[in-house]
Amino acid sequence: MSQHRSELLMPAGNLRKLKMAILYGADAVYLGTPDMSLRTKSEFSLEDVIEGVEFCHAHGKRAYLTLNLFSHNKDIPKLDEYIETVRRVKPDGLIIADPGVFQYVKERAPELPLHISTQSNICSWLSVKFWQDQGADLCVLAREVSYPELKEIREKCPEIKLEAFVHGAMCMTYSGRCLLSNFMSERGANQGNCANSCRWNYTLKMRLKDGTVQELEVNDDNKHLFEFLLEEGCRPGELMPIEEDPRGSYILNSKDLCLLPKLDDFLSIGVDSLKVEGRGKSEYYCAIVARAYRMAIDDYYADPEGWDPKPYMLELESVLNRGYTTAFHDGRLTNYAHGYQNTAALAQWEYAGVVTEVTEDAFLVQVKNKLEAGEVLDFVSPIARDTVLLRLYDFERAKDGARLDVVHGSTQTIIRIPFALFDHEDTDQLRARFPAYTVLRKEKALNEEQWARIKLDKLTQGMEISGRDNPQAYARRSEALSEAVAKDTNEKRFKTNRIGTEGCCGKGCNGCLIFWQDDQYAQAREVLQLRKQGEQLTNAEAKTLKIPAA
């Protein structure tokens, strides 16, 4: 096994996201200004880029700038100014896709380490050798490269750094070479302005002989009359069914890449950089995903033989996703890699707030999503692994001390959370473990369709990882999802109880009046006191200890 340590490379869409990614465990970040970095929605000014790179270097981390567009003639006059700007910033690498841009930069700024972007579609050791001979320091491999191929590339190209995607959105075509966005909305995917047309809802229409176009509604009364089949030109007679429910079809919708269950493969052969996609994702995403992969990487190096991905997958489930897939890791893309039912990103948790300041006696927290009395807030430390749970029965507005039962995230309200509310925590430890930029999360209420889809996603993910089909379970979960869709109800529920006085969720949260004061929970309190902070009782334990249902 290689002793080389892989770096965790996180995306940074703005300065706050960069700082969160670094604080939560990234070894490096990649960033760029909107004009030439394949992210027209990037929120970095030049001053932000300079500050961001300095922040990385001050924390002993690396920063890579992006120049990975495919150039048109109009872009060339900007290059000299861009190169001089890059020299001022002093990044640890410059990510490039266009061979002409590569040569241009190499001639005018030979001191800059050059990384070859995934846009160059590097899928073989031959391509890696080519770029190595041109003077590249690192090659980012295409998402379509399987693990056996990656292993062979590593063996044949030991003298150049390799980078591989391990997490993030997947493109329905070939490593971002999609023209669908150009066709549907005149937004160039290869110029950093993809409209994500593959995520849209597509419905079936029919054109009558008189030229009129109508929507063809297939319902319970007439569905026995129709069957829609697709025949590919070179496969005559091989008829593939096309299915659509009342909401439409998402036939182009890929699930999200997540190779954490296979991360030990990458670490064992010494892949230099493990890349997470998502410069357009939230700061919460940057923090939680960095935290999950940081723990997974560190634990692998500490104990490769005993490494288990399950604890880190629980962390990733708290981040919005379209369902996770291992994609091309084993070479072939399975039917479980696509989400045909809908395109929504779901999670059982959501961003509750972020610590903006730690005062002498309290946290000041900017609220990010609606908070209601009785909510349990999960403080997720960028330093310590254990989270801390706190149940709040109202919220103190920091600017005037007003007591509120509800706070909306859109108001950007700052609330004050006194240390005194943490009745089972050491104050000095709270200050040390939860500095500014600490994120808070809370459980999210979902409707029955969303709960059913999460269960189906978890099942298909498990089948894909193990390589073992379970058609009976798949049929049951799919039917449950179809039934939930048919009910079309938006009634939502939480996984656990929200209000402490209405029952106990078994978490033993700081500030939970009923759990820590009611005699009926005495035995449960004794059990939780022996466990690490934030660890809750299982459902089976809750029944054994006679904790009443919510």
CATH number of 439's domain: 2.40.30.10
* Residue 153 confidence (pLDDT): 98
**310/528: higher pLDDT:** 310
> Is there a single domain that holds both residue 278 and residue 400?
no
* 187 found inside a domain: no
DSSP letters, 200-225, are S-B--EEE-TTS-EEE----TTTGGG
Q: Which residues contact 200 (CB under 8 A, 6 or more apart)?
A: 184, 250, 343
* Residue 249 confidence (pLDDT): 58
DSSP-derived 3-state class of residue 122:
strand
Q: What is the DSSP letter of 410?
A: G
Output the average pLDDT for the chain: 86
* Residue 247 confidence (pLDDT): 55
* Residue 482 confidence (pLDDT): 83
Give yes or no for residue 110 having a pLDDT over 50.
yes
* 74 found inside a domain: yes
> Is there a single domain that holds both residue 270 and residue 403?
no
Of how many residues is the chain composed? 550
Q: Give the residue from 299, 331, 363 where a domain finishes.
A: 331
Q: How confident is the model over 427-479, as pLDDT tens digits?
A: 999 999 999 999 999 999 999 999 999 999 999 999 999 989 999 999 999 88
Least confident of 178-192, 265-279, 329-343: 178-192
* Residue 82 confidence (pLDDT): 87
Which of 517-527 are b and which e, b meaning 16 or more Cβ less than 10 Å from the residue's Cβ?
A: eeeebeebeee
Give yes or no for residue 70 having a pLDDT over 80.
yes
> Is there a single domain that holds both residue 391 and residue 538?
yes
Task: Please calculate the CA angle 295-301-304 and round it to the nearest 5 degrees.
Answer: 105
> Is there a single domain that holds both residue 321 and residue 456?
no
> Is there a single domain that holds both residue 18 and residue 41?
yes
> Is there a single domain that holds both residue 388 and residue 510?
yes
Give yes or no for residue 390 having a pLDDT over 70.
yes
Give yes or no for residue 2 having a pLDDT over 50.
no
* 208 found inside a domain: yes
Number of domains making up the chain? 4
> Is there a single domain that holds both residue 390 and residue 459?
no
> Is there a single domain that holds both residue 260 and residue 382?
no
* Residue 1 confidence (pLDDT): 43
DSSP-derived 3-state class of residue 5:
coil
Least confident of 39-43, 368-372, 462-466: 39-43
CA distance 309 to 462: 12
> Is there a single domain that holds both residue 43 and residue 140?
yes
Give yes or no for residue 398 having a pLDDT over 80.
yes
* Residue 244 confidence (pLDDT): 57
* Residue 365 confidence (pLDDT): 98
* 52 found inside a domain: yes
* CATH number, domain containing residue 13: 3.20.20.70
**454/245: higher pLDDT:** 454
Q: Give the residue from 303, 331, 359 where a domain finishes.
A: 331
In 120-221, DSSP assigns E strands to: 138-140, 161-168, 205-207, 213-215
pLDDT (average), residues 402-420: 96
* Residue 495 confidence (pLDDT): 79
Amino acid at 326: T
Least confident of 121-135, 171-185, 324-338, 419-433: 171-185
Cβ atoms 436, 356 nearer than 8 A: yes
Least confident of 138-142, 335-339, 474-478: 335-339
The dihedral region occupied by 266, where left means phi > 0, alpha psi between -120 and 50, and beta the remainder, is alpha
* Residue 65 confidence (pLDDT): 94
The fraction of the chain above a pLDDT of 70, given in percent, is 80
**376/190: higher pLDDT:** 376
Domain carrying residue 465: 446-493
* 16 found inside a domain: yes
Using alpha carbons, select from 21, 18, 124, 108 the residue that is nearest to residue 67: 108
**238/232: higher pLDDT:** 238
* 126 found inside a domain: yes
* Residue 34 confidence (pLDDT): 61
Least confident of 161-165, 268-272, 473-477, 523-527: 523-527
* Residue 169 confidence (pLDDT): 87
Give yes or no for residue 518 having a pLDDT over 80.
yes
* Residue 237 confidence (pLDDT): 73
* 479 found inside a domain: yes
> Is there a single domain that holds both residue 429 and residue 519?
yes
Give yes or no for residue 231 having a pLDDT over 70.
no
DSSP-derived 3-state class of residue 442:
strand
- The pLDDT confidence band at residue 175, using thresholds 50, 70 and 90, is low
535, two tokens: 């660890």
pLDDT (average), residues 194-208: 65
* 156 found inside a domain: yes
> Is there a single domain that holds both residue 275 and residue 398?
no
> Is there a single domain that holds both residue 306 and residue 440?
no
Give yes or no for residue 333 having a pLDDT over 70.
yes
Using alpha carbons, select from 37, 63, 61 the residue that is nearest to residue 50: 63
